[in-house]
Every structure is written in structure tokens, then in C-alpha cells.
Amino acid sequence: MNYVVLGAGPAGVTAAETLRSLDKASSITIINGEDEPQPYSRMAIPYYIYGKIDEHGTYLRQTPGHYEKLGITYKVGRCGGIDPAAHKVYLTGGEALSYDKLLIATGASPIIPRMPGSNLTGVHTCWTLNDAREILKHADKGSPVVLVGAGFIGSIILEALYLRGCKITIVEYAPRMVARMMDETAGGMLGRWCKAKGVDVRVSTKVEGIHEGSDAPGAKLTVELSDGTTVPAALVVLAVGVRSNTGFLVGTGIATNVGITVDQHLQTTAPDIYAAGDCCEGVDLSTGKPDMLAIQPVAVEHGRLAALNMAGHSTPHRGSLNMNVLDTMGLISSSFGLWQGTPLGKTARLIDEDGFKYLKLEFEGDKLVGAQCVGMTDHVGMLRGLIQSGFHLGNWRDRLLAAPERLREAYIDVMQSRPGFGPSAPHTNTPIAKSA
Amino acid sequence: MLRALVIDPGKCTGCKQCEMACSFVKEGEFNVSKSRIRVFDFHTEARFVPYTCTQCAEAWCQQACPVNAITTNADGVKVVHENLCVGCKVCTIACPFGTVNYNASTGKVIKCDLCLGSPACAEACPTGAITFKDTEQAGFDKMKVWATQAAHATSTQGPNTPAAKG
């Protein structure tokens, strides 16, 4: 068997490793569309930008010779097209590779907003390691920086640039920060926190354009905003969202929507071709519907599952849970599942505006289906545990509606009240505590 | 032979010496907020439940780590490598048990590593609520229990179904 994996992000690398664990003999080739010595993690880029790690620290796998040891061929090249009938992948240099099973894990690319000046020197996206190297050339201590977009990625870059000592203005079209990750209360807290740290936060504001030249010290660019003001910048970082990389599939007959369409086995509409990670629309566990969830844990899940299916171990996907965690200059927030709530569901809230603490739980019946928190990190994974397992909370639903801070108690009680089952069961093959 | 922490909440009196021992051994200070093991206190029932990482075979934290900073050692223990951890906290939301926590003072995550062979919590426990035993002796089969759990609460068919061993 000859496996080819297009894309060397977490989905591609996990798939290649999983294939090898299932099949010692087959040929496995992983192709990175970026010219880098090793597959790396985009998640690590902010930490590289502020110097917590070097480039090596961004690598997805840290053991020297990892891929060679596993007999995985690592190659750099960009895919120019696929011929599903001939079972061939064409790289842009003209090279053709044959495959028996192909995984498309080509990820996503940042959206470049249509506006004057988005191609100027000093205007960058922050998505690849190479973007980060470019950003470092302009992001000195005290440099004025304009961040376009205060979504998850914009906010995570914000922290990195803040820690480098840049003077930051963040511009967001939506009425709050992280509008697709958290509600008004949480977004408002983040905004106030950032302002208190000296960041100029402009929400409900659009960037009209960027032009060269500025009178301000250290600035080379001027950013024009929809409120009529201008902001000087040495660097403009565009972070308005990402889009699945599917352009090279035009004409192949492989169905795409927002991302590549996949079935429950992560197979595309073409035989022997699978897709995983940001480039495809896997099932969202919360809705049961296909969606492009561009997050690391989903990429890993997809990669592992696609590989199982490719190797002949039929494993349908139940769906992935959407979740995010964000550190905004020391204020840590997270959201899980249906954090927006559901029409017939009930909501528990704990709000401490002055203390920058917030916990919101969303229930459907007696199950937890979504959650958000700000300023709370201890045992936060329990939220995922309750949502993903779909355990019935019974009486605890009403107790949590009255006192959401009792979440950890509820988790332990619910998990341990089912003898032998529950994620805490392996932990307690001991007398199970009786529930009240 | 693999050994594991066996926790019997029925014997726990809530003295929290396990938390003190853990934070002292791991952090050099008596600061229970940094303990890897926590005792949950059910006030109205006078019931206490010590709780920490199960070193689960699934290792959701390990799979979610973007920089390979969590690995499994020869004893099956999931260990965080401080030099590699970037502090992204994805493992803290990925672990469905909530047993990987962020330590703001180091900017890294912390989790139980069974003290790499002689857990301080078990040594400190005065009532035998926390013991460290051979997994076979304890009848402890994580994979089997997980499968049972999956069959009852979720599906065995899922993203985190254990992969067939190669």
C-alpha cells in the first residue's frame, strides 16, 4: 500500500503516525506545502514571536529523526492538482506521485481583506512560521502595531506583540472582541482588560485602507479607520479569519462547500481520498452537522480517524467538540460547545465584572451542552468532559443553575455515582461513593 | 509491572495532607492551589473525594499538545516536559477529567506524574484513602473500564476510540 498525505500540520502528521502504527510495511509520504525543515505547529507561533521558544520549539515532534525512524518520507512541495481516476497527485514543480490512498490535510489560509494597501510592505498575516519571521522584522519594542481583527487568532497575536513591548491598536468590525468564541459579557471583559493594559481597542470599527507614510515616530504606514481617525503603524497584522485550502481541487469532481465535504469516515466524494483538519468539514458534535472547526484538537482527531479508516479499520466519526482557550495578557478565557446556548435551554451565570471572572453554563434538559469562562482555569477540562460525555446531571442541573461555582463538585458526583462507568471510573475501582 | 494510584473516597477524612505533600514536593511550597491532587469537599454530606490524573490510556492531553511536550514514559505515566511546554493550555481544555492545570507563575501546565514512582500523596495519606499499587493487584484495567464507560455513556465508535495496537 502506498499512502500519500498532503499537508504536514497536526492532522497530516497524526495521520501519518497512525498509519504507521497500523501498518508497518506500507510506504507513507507526507508533503509539506511550506518549505520548512520539519512539520511545525501554528499554535506555537505566538510563543515564538515573543521569544519564549526558538524555531525548534515550534516543531510538532521534538525527537530528532522522528519521521525517518518511523519510515515516513517527509517532502516539501505544493500540490497543483489531483487526478482521482489515475490515483495521482501533481506537485507544482511537475512531479507526479502515485497513491493507493490519499489524505488531504492542506489546512486553511488567512483571508486577506479587500482594501487598499493590504499588499504593502509591513502588512502581514500571522499564520505561517515565515509570517512570524517577517513580523519580527517590524515588531520592535515600542513599535506602533495595528492588529486587524480581534477574533481568537488576533487576540492570541495581541498577547505576543504586547509581550514584545509593541504599542498596539486592535481594530474589530464586530461589536466586541472574540465575537465567535464568547458572548457580550466575556468579550466586554476582555476589552476592558486590554484597555487597562494600555491597548487601544476599537470595536465596531472597520479598516478602510492602509497607505504608506506616517509622521509618527517609528511608523511607516497609516491605517484609516471607518470612524474617520487614522492610526500610525510600523506593522499591520491581518487576522480576520481563515478559509479552507481547497483551490487545487477545482475540476477534480471532489465536492467542497466551505471546506471539503467528507462522510462519517472522513472520506471525500472520491474513492480512496480522505480529508482531515482545517481543509474539511467534519461533524460538529454539538449540532451533528458538518462544520469547519479550525482548531488543533479537531485536526488531531480527524487525522487519527482518517488514518484508521484509510487502513481499513472502519471507524465512524461521532463529531468533534468545538472549544477554545485564550490567554489575553494574563486573562484566561475558554469556551466549549454550544456556548451561545440553545432556544429551549437554561443558562447559569456567575459574573464578577470587577474581578474579571465569569462562568456561564448552558443546559439542555439536564445535560451540559455549552460553557464559557473567564478568569478561571482550575479543572476547566471538566467542562469538556461533561459536554462530550453527555452525562445526565439529574438534580445537579438545578443546583448548578443556583450556584454554577459548584461545577467541580457536580462533575465528581456525577462521574462517581455511576458504578464502574464514567471517566473517573478507572480511577476508582474502589468502593464507589454513594450519591446523596 | 505498572502501578497506579488507587483512591478510596470512603476512607478520606478531608485532611488534605495529600495536597500539602504534593505542592511541597512539586513546587517547594505549601500551596494547595498548585497541588496536582485535589480533595473535593461535599459540604452537605461530609464527604471527601481525592481526585487526580488517571494516566489514562487515551491521553487526550498528549494528543492535543501541539509541540510534543507531553509524552508517555515506560511506566505509562504522562509527563509534561517543562522545557517544551509553551503554555498554550490546549491540554487543559482537552482533558475531559480536568486534571491538567495551568500554573500562571511558571507559564506552563502541571499534572500528576506519580512523582515518577513514589507518589508523595500516597505516602502522606494517613488513612489509606490513597494507595499506590500494582495495577494487576488492584484489578485495574484502564482500557477495559474506558470501553465500558464508552459503551454506556458514549459510543465506542469515536474520535478517541483506542487505536488498534500496531
Q: Is pLDDT at B155 greater than 90 in this prediction?
A: no
Contact list in B for residue A60 (CB cut-off 8 A) is: 66-68
Domains defined along chain A, listed by start:
2-109+242-310 (3.50.50.60), 123-238 (3.50.50.60), 330-427 (3.30.390.30)
Question: What are φ and ψ of residue B154, in 5° steps?
Answer: -135, -170
Q: What is the pLDDT of residue A417?
A: 62
Q: Is pLDDT at B153 greater than 50 in this prediction?
A: no
Q: Which fold has domain B1-52+116-152?
A: Alpha-Beta Plaits (3.30.70)
Domain boundaries, chain B: 1-52+116-152, 54-111
Could you give the C-alpha distances from A226 to A177, A179, A200, A223, A378, in angstroms and in order? 17, 19, 15, 10, 41
B54-111 CATH choice from 2.30.30.90, 3.30.420.40, 3.30.70.20, 1.25.40.10: 3.30.70.20
Over the range A16-38, which residues count as b (16 or more CB within 10 Å of their CB) and which as e? bbbbbbbbeeeebbbbbbeebeb
DSSP string, A396-415: HHHHHHH-GGGHHHHHHHHH
A53 close to B (CB below 8 A): yes
pTM: 0.90
The CA dihedral of A20, A24, A27, A31, to the nearest 10 degrees, is: 20
Q: How confident is the model at residue B137 (pLDDT cuts 50, 70, 90)?
A: low
Helix, strand, coil percentages, rounded to 5, for chain B: 30, 20, 50
DSSP string, A36-97: -SS-B-GGGHHHHHTTSS-GGGGBS--STTHHHHTTEEEEE--EEEEETTTTEEEETTS-EE
Q: What is the pLDDT of residue A416?
A: 72
Q: What is the pLDDT of residue B43?
A: 76
Q: Identify which of A313, A385, A409 has the shortest CB distance to residue B96.
A: A385
What is the average pLDDT value for chain B, to the nearest integer? Answer: 83
Contact B93, A386 (CB under 8 A): no
Q: Which residue in A has a C-alpha nearest to residue B145's C-alpha? A: A426
Q: What is the pLDDT of residue B46?
A: 82
Q: Please name the residue ranges forming H helices in A164-295.
A: 184-196
Question: What are φ and ψ of residue A85, in 5° steps?
Answer: -70, -40
Contact list in A for residue B153 (CB cut-off 8 A) is: 389-391, 418, 421-422
Please enumerate, as own/partner, the contacts of B35-41 that have beta carbons within 8 Å and a separation of 24 or more. Answer: B36/B99, B36/B101, B36/B110, B36/B111, B36/B112, B36/B113, B36/B121, B37/B112, B37/B121, B37/B130, B38/A379, B39/B12, B39/B14, B40/A408, B40/A409, B40/A412, B41/A409, B41/B14
Give the C-alpha separation, B149 to B156, whole Å.
9
DSSP string, A130-192: HHHHHHHHH--TT-EEEEE--SHHHHHHHHHHHHTT-EEEEE-SSSSTTTTTS-HHHHHHHHH
Q: Identify which of A59, A62, A385 has the shortest CB distance to residue B97.
A: A385
Count the Cβ atoms, other than its own, within 10 Å of residue B141.
15
Question: Per-10-residue mean pLDDT for chain A, 436 residues long?
Answer: 97 98 97 97 97 96 96 96 96 95 98 95 96 96 97 95 97 96 96 97 97 94 97 97 96 96 97 98 95 96 97 94 96 97 96 98 97 96 94 94 95 71 37 34
Whether B1-52+116-152 and B54-111 share one fold: the answer is yes
Give the C-alpha separation, A306 to A308, whole Å.
5
Contact list in B for residue A313 (CB cut-off 8 A) is: 163-164
Of chain A residues 56-115, which have a CB less than 8 A from chain B?
57-63
Count the Cβ atoms, other than its own, within 10 Å of residue B164.
12
Residue with cell 472520506: A267
Contact list in B for residue A22 (CB cut-off 8 A) is: 163-164, 166
Contact list in B for residue A428 (CB cut-off 8 A) is: 7-9
Q: Identify which of B5, B100, B159 has the shortest CB distance to residue A320.
A: B159
Q: How confident is the model at residue B136 (pLDDT cuts 50, 70, 90)?
A: low
ipTM: 0.92
